[in-house]
């Protein structure tokens, strides 16, 4: 550590890593010190020159005697003094909370904007930009943000906030960090100086908020900005953060399933995003995640997302792969039948000029699925969307099903989905950037028949798995959707196994006559991912079956007894 002068205070400055490497300057928020960045700095310092400092009034830096000296002018002068001391022509700025507020302000000022190569912001908007949002944002959006900002009003009161910092506030803060974000206190965070820092830092709120909200400056900035939206941040609303995009000509909107102190709870993800972004701004290639999160007009809804689809060689899988590709995604088409997967991938390349990969895969094999998931992560990255679609049918009465019929059906239809969920959900959780899993169940998940006992059992289990998983993964920003189509005109009846009486011809004809194309199922899947829907019954019989199974389970049981007599309701013979 060394102390550098800035106006009426001396600032504690900390440097790590080789000076020759690109410089990342980490600016902490309120009521933290530079130590809040310990984990992130440790992860970056092998490739970067990492600089941190305690802002005025915090940690080992001095506090101004004059309370007015917490204004943006003084904070910008401090940042300038740090930049002068580092002596690098350009640095990558990273600001959290109040560190973010003051960086947004500083990069609009001559003398600093030329030296900021990029700016990564999280946990705090710019004040000028927020003032614009509060004036011109929708009523509900503004009310949502104001409800999160109640404490800012409380900090304007005299004496009481000071007393709160001397009394219960430090313990309450540590408790809420632990309960809401799972962050345990460690050496350096919260700092030993927390009570004093908390009282000093009230000057930040009192000197800047009201004046700046009343008379905001021009919110536009010229520096490339990466916003990391932390989805469980209790202080800043997603709408306010999203509104920031209009103020920077080059803007990346990243998402992280984390709370306010993401650098403590998810240091790997935060460090990775900072490194990816600064390397790209310095002329390196753009990663797919960065391309995905770049904010630009006219982009496809799934532009640069990686989508993995099993059973993509035919029917619903094929249509879904094509639909995602048509909306900009890079798709992995996996199928037991390699040739059909290759055909689908090649057609996607020709028809939509999108990258598509074909992989031979047996979803029923644990080792094949583990290898597949590992290869995907290694070669293309963590998928944004996984569609567990591969499925087979065995039709006929229960007493005619062999053990092998049961095993095969459950291995493909249920275990294939379990493997897809367990392997890819783990990757998505570890990456921390959210994602979506779609499991293809069926009308058979909730409508019993005498002809499909193994198939229906597997699909009912898939639906329940989806409900359980959705509850568990919601906190990680990962959506789970169960899609339940009725009859769809695909090759499933032709590919099915028939036991007992031979229903092949009847079933094939039935699906063909139904005339419901898999492309319409695909459209439902894309919309469901976009809206994060839980259960999506598709087509008339899918919707009626779903509704009836909830309104009158006994009527559905009566229908199940009839089903063996009528044979096939679609064909009617």
Judged by beta carbon, residue 129 or residue 490, the one nearer ligand NAD is 490
- Please pick, from the candidates 120, 200, 243, 442, the single residue that binds ligand NAD as defined by CB under 6 A: 442
Please tell me the number of Cα atoms within 13 Å of 234 on its side-chain side: 9
Cα distance between residue 185 and residue 117, in whole Å: 33
Spatial neighbors of 469 by CB under 8 A, at least 6 apart, are 421, 425, 437, 480
Q: With contacts defined by CB under 6 A, name the span among 135-143, 216-224, 390-398, 550-558 that binds ligand NAD.
A: 390-398
Closest approach, Cβ 336 to ligand NAD, in A, equals 4
Contact status: 487 vs ligand NAD (CB under 6 A): yes
Closest approach, Cβ 288 to ligand NAD, in A, equals 25
Whether residue 363 contacts residue 311, with contact meaning beta carbons closer than 8 Å, is answered with yes
Residue 332 has φ and ψ, to the nearest 5°, of: -110, 115
- Please pick, from the candidates 259, 317, 396, 434, the single residue that binds ligand NAD as defined by CB under 6 A: 317
Contact status: 6 vs ligand NAD (CB under 6 A): no
Peptide bond into 31 cis (omega under 30): yes
Could you say which DSSP state residue 183 is in? P
Q: Is 518 exposed, middle or buried (0-12, 13-18, 19+ CB in 10 A)?
A: buried
Give the containing element (helix H, strand E) for 101.
Answer: helix 98-106
Q: With contacts defined by CB under 6 A, name the span among 209-217, 220-228, 313-321, 429-437 that binds ligand NAD.
A: 313-321
# binding residues, ligand NAD (CB under 6 A): 31
Cα distance between residue 308 and residue 387, in whole Å: 6
Nearest to 103 by CA among 82, 84, 126, 137: 126
β-partners of residue 536 are 483
Q: Binding marks (x or -) toward ligand NAD, 343..382, rule CB under 6 A?
A: ------------------xxxx------------------
Closest approach, Cβ 478 to ligand NAD, in A, equals 21
Could you say which DSSP state residue 400 is in? G
Judged by beta carbon, residue 207 or residue 310, the one nearer ligand NAD is 310
Q: Binding marks (x or -) toward ligand NAD, 518..537, rule CB under 6 A?
A: x-------------------
Judged by beta carbon, residue 316 or residue 461, the one nearer ligand NAD is 316
Cα distance between residue 521 and residue 270, in whole Å: 37
Closest approach, Cβ 515 to ligand NAD, in A, equals 12
- Please pick, from the candidates 125, 219, 311, 477, the single residue that binds ligand NAD as defined by CB under 6 A: 311
Residues 116-175 that bind ligand NAD (CB under 6 A): none
Closest approach, Cβ 169 to ligand NAD, in A, equals 54
Cα distance between residue 38 and residue 35, in whole Å: 5
Cα distance between residue 424 and residue 415, in whole Å: 14
Judged by beta carbon, residue 183 or residue 484, the one nearer ligand NAD is 484
Contact status: 488 vs ligand NAD (CB under 6 A): yes
Q: Binding marks (x or -) toward ligand NAD, 271..310, rule CB under 6 A?
A: ---------------------------------------x
Could you say which DSSP state residue 294 is in? B
Residue carrying the six token digits 């059973």: 311
Contact status: 391 vs ligand NAD (CB under 6 A): yes
Closest approach, Cβ 151 to ligand NAD, in A, equals 50
Contact status: 405 vs ligand NAD (CB under 6 A): no
Judged by beta carbon, residue 311 or residue 383, the one nearer ligand NAD is 311
Give the gyration radius of the chain's Cα atoms: 28
Nearest to 487 by CA among 441, 439, 541: 541
DSSP three-state, residue 13: strand
Judged by beta carbon, residue 63 or residue 454, the one nearer ligand NAD is 454
Contact status: 454 vs ligand NAD (CB under 6 A): no
Closest approach, Cβ 512 to ligand NAD, in A, equals 11
What is the distance between the terminal CA atoms of the chain, rounded to a whole angstrom? 85
Spatial neighbors of 159 by CB under 8 A, at least 6 apart, are none
Q: With contacts defined by CB under 6 A, name the span among 104-112, 180-188, 232-240, 388-396 that binds ligand NAD.
A: 388-396
Cα distance between residue 394 and residue 405, in whole Å: 7
Could you say which DSSP state residue 414 is in? I
Active-site residue among 30, 53, 302, 455? Answer: 455
- Please pick, from the candidates 31, 99, 259, 485, the single residue that binds ligand NAD as defined by CB under 6 A: 485
Judged by beta carbon, residue 193 or residue 456, the one nearer ligand NAD is 456
Closest approach, Cβ 305 to ligand NAD, in A, equals 21
Nearest to 563 by CA among 456, 449, 454, 455: 449
- Please pick, from the candidates 123, 267, 315, 510, the single residue that binds ligand NAD as defined by CB under 6 A: 315
Judged by beta carbon, residue 194 or residue 319, the one nearer ligand NAD is 319
Q: Is 64 exposed, middle or buried (0-12, 13-18, 19+ CB in 10 A)?
A: middle
What residue spans of 32-168 are helical by DSSP H? 38-44, 72-86, 98-106, 127-136, 139-148, 150-155, 160-166
Q: With contacts defined by CB under 6 A, name the span among 33-41, 163-171, 213-221, 331-339 that binds ligand NAD.
A: 331-339
Residue 455 a catalytic site member:
yes
Residues 489-508 that bind ligand NAD (CB under 6 A): 490-492, 495
Spatial neighbors of 386 by CB under 8 A, at least 6 apart, are 307, 308, 309, 420, 421, 424, 435, 436, 437, 438
Contact status: 316 vs ligand NAD (CB under 6 A): yes
Write out the two tokens for 506. 């009847």
Active site residues: 455
Judged by the rule CB under 6 A, the positions of this chain that interact with ligand NAD are: 310-311, 313-317, 335-337, 340, 361-364, 389-392, 412, 440, 442, 485, 487-488, 490-492, 495, 511, 518
């Amino acid at each position: 550590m060394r102390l550098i002068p800035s106006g009426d205070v001396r600032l504690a400055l900390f440097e790590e890593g080789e000076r020759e490497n690109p410089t990342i300057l980490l600016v902490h928020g309120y009521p933290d010190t530079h130590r809040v960045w310990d984990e992130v700095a440790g992860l970056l310092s092998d490739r970067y020159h990492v600089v941190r400092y305690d802002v005025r009034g915090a940690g080992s830096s001095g506090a101004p005697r004059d309370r007015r000296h917490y204004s943006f002018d003084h904070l910008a002068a401090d940042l300038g003094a740090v930049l002068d001391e580092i002596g690098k022509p350009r640095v990558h700025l990273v600001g959290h909370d109040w560190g973010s507020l003051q960086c947004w302000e500083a990069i609009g000022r001559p003398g600093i904007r030329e030296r900021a190569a990029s700016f990564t912001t999280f946990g705090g908007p710019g004040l000028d930009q927020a003032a614009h949002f509060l004036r011109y944002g929708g009523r509900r959006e503004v009310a949502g943000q104001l409800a999160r900002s109640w404490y800012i009003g409380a900090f304007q009161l005299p004496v009481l906030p000071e007393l709160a910092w001397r009394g219960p506030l430090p313990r309450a803060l540590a408790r809420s960090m632990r309960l809401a974000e799972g962050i345990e206190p460690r050496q350096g965070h919260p700092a030993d100086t927390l009570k004093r820092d908390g009282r000093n830092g009230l000057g930040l709120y009192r000197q800047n908020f009201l004046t700046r909200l009343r008379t905001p400056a021009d919110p536009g900035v010229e520096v490339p900005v990466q916003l990391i939206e932390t989805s469980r941040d209790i202080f800043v609303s997603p709408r306010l953060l999203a509104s920031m995009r209009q103020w920077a000509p080059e803007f990346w909107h990243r998402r992280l399933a984390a709370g306010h102190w993401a650098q403590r709870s998810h240091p790997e993800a935060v460090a990775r995003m900072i490194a990816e972004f600064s390397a790209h701004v310095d002329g390196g290639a753009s990663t797919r995640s960065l391309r995905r999160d770049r904010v630009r007009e006219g982009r496809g809804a799934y532009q640069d997302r990686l989508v993995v689809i099993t059973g993509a060689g035919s029917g619903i899988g094929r249509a879904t792969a094509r639909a995602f590709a048509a909306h900009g995604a890079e798709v992995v088409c996996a199928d037991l039948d390699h040739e059909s997967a290759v055909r689908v991938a090649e057609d996607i390349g020709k028809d939509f000029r999108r990258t598509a990969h074909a992989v031979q895969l047996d979803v029923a094999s644990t080792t094949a699925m583990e290898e597949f998931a590992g290869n995907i992560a290694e070669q293309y990255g963590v998928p944004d969307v996984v569609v567990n679609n591969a499925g087979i049918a065995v039709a006929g009465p229960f007493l005619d099903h062999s053990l092998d019929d049961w095993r095969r059906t459950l291995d493909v239809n249920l275990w294939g989905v379990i493997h897809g969920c367990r392997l890819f959900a783990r990757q998505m959780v570890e990456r921390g950037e959210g994602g979506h899993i779609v499991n293809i169940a069926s009308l058979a998940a909730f409508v019993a028949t005498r002809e499909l006992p193994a198939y229906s059992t597997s699909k009912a289990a898939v639906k329940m798995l989806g409900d359980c998983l959705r509850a568990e993964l919601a906190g990680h920003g990962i959506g789970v959707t169960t899609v339940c189509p009725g009859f769809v005109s695909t090759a499933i009846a032709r590919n099915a196994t028939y036991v007992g009486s031979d229903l092949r011809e009847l079933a094939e004809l039935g699906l063909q006559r139904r005339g419901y194309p898999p492309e319409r199922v695909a459209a439902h899947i894309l919309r469901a991912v976009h809206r994060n829907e839980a259960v999506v019954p598709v087509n008339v019989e899918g919707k009626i079956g779903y509704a009836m199974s909830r309104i009158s389970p006994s009527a559905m049981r009566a229908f199940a007894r009839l089903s063996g007599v009528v044979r096939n309701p679609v064909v009617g013979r």
